[in-house]
Amino acid sequence: MKKNYKLSFLRRLAKYGHPFIKGVEKRKIEKYARLGEKNSLVFIVGAPRTGSTILYQLLTHYLDVLYINNFAGLFYQDLFSGVWLSRKFLRDKPHNCFDSFQGDTYQCGLKGPAECGDFWYRWLPRDRHYIGKDEVEERKREEIGKTLFAIINRWDKPFLIKNLNAGQRMGLFTQITPNAKFIFIRRNPLYAAQSIWLSKKKIGLEPHQWWSIMPKNYHDLVKLPAHRQIVRQIFFLEKQILDDRRYYPAENFITVEYEELCRHPLETVETLQQFIGPGVKAKEGAEIPNLDFNETQKINEKDFLLLKKEVNRLDWENYQL
């Protein structure tokens, strides 16, 4: 009850405080954004149900990086202020948050790392996720960049963002920050597809109903039978990411396999620590938990075999049809 009261209070504070906060927010953003790009934006991207949330949780728990937690995310209209308040009251300690539901970490409380989609929806559409170069007006691109780099420059640390939509917007982000880095997480597509199937069931959707990130050819995929739709959703989301990495230097892109993350979490996190930045340190007292890796059939035989058949139709090495 106490936790719910605190959350309700902060939501009201963020909503009704915005008219009073926004003036200070604007001045702070202008002050720090003019310092350039002192550190990097780092995006976690991939298809849904590939392990992006647990990867985000591990990295933000263990590494001394900036990220949006559930506290800061409440202030999505004034994100600089939200991050400042969060760091003031929650400090920057290991969060020990390794639970989630469909990417939501509110069961961990205010310290849980958040995707904070509402921040991006201030400028970007909700009804489509793919955005190429030159599709967003310059004013909006500047506002996004200034907000993010003001936060980076105020605390002089890399800013780690888990936002699966970002994998469909790499062309846009090259116009905001050509030095962005991307951590691309992949999972065996059969088990990623099975997990999407189960996720739809958990939230009351039929298998053929669309769920989560929309690739560029969404309007074609949404008409397909359920098994083919789900598998091709994964395929085309990943294909877009691999196609668009051409916008960035090769050293700004790294791939993580979900199985490797689960079997060797500490080694994977330490590899990514070097990728994010050579000066990034581990947080004092942070420990990496052991993870379960259990890729087994969890749906009926017929549907599992149909998903497997669709996976085997596609070229997952070269992403060519």
Tens-digit pLDDT profile for residues 174-231: 999 999 999 999 999 999 999 999 999 999 999 999 999 999 999 999 999 999 999 9
Query: How far apart (Å, rounded) are the C-alpha atoms in residues 166 and 288?
Result: 26
Contact 50, 295 (CB under 8 A): no
Query: How far apart (Å, rounded) are the C-alpha atoms in residues 196 and 207?
Result: 9
Q: Interior CA angle at 18 toward 64 and 111, to 5°?
A: 30
Residue with tokens 């050509």: 178
- The one-letter code for the residue type at 11 is R
What is the arrangement of strands in the sheet containing 41-46, beginning at the earlier edge strand?
159-162, 41-46, 181-186, 253-257
Question: What value does the mean pLDDT of the chain take?
Answer: 96
> Looking at residues 250-266, what average pLDDT do you find?
98
Tens-digit pLDDT profile for residues 82-128: 999 999 999 889 999 999 988 889 889 999 999 999 999 999 999 99
- Write phi, then psi, for 286 (nearest 5 degrees): -80, 135
Locate the domains of the chain by residue range.
Answer: 2-192+253-300
Measured CA distances, 96 to 9, 22, 107, 186, 305 (Å): 24, 32, 12, 24, 37
pLDDT of residue 1: 44
- Beta-bridge partner residues of 254: 183
Closest listed residue to residue 311, CA positions, set 194, 185, 186: 194
pLDDT of residue 274: 98
pLDDT band at 3 (very low <50, low <70, confident <90, very high): low
pLDDT of residue 268: 99
Query: How far apart (Å, rounded) are the C-alpha atoms in residues 199 and 205?
Result: 8
Query: How far apart (Å, rounded) are the C-alpha atoms in residues 164 and 83?
Result: 21
Q: pTM for the complete prediction?
A: 0.96
Tens-digit pLDDT profile for residues 141-167: 999 999 999 999 999 999 999 999 999
Tokens of 119: 């921040």
SS3 state of residue 185: strand
Tokens of 34: 């003019």
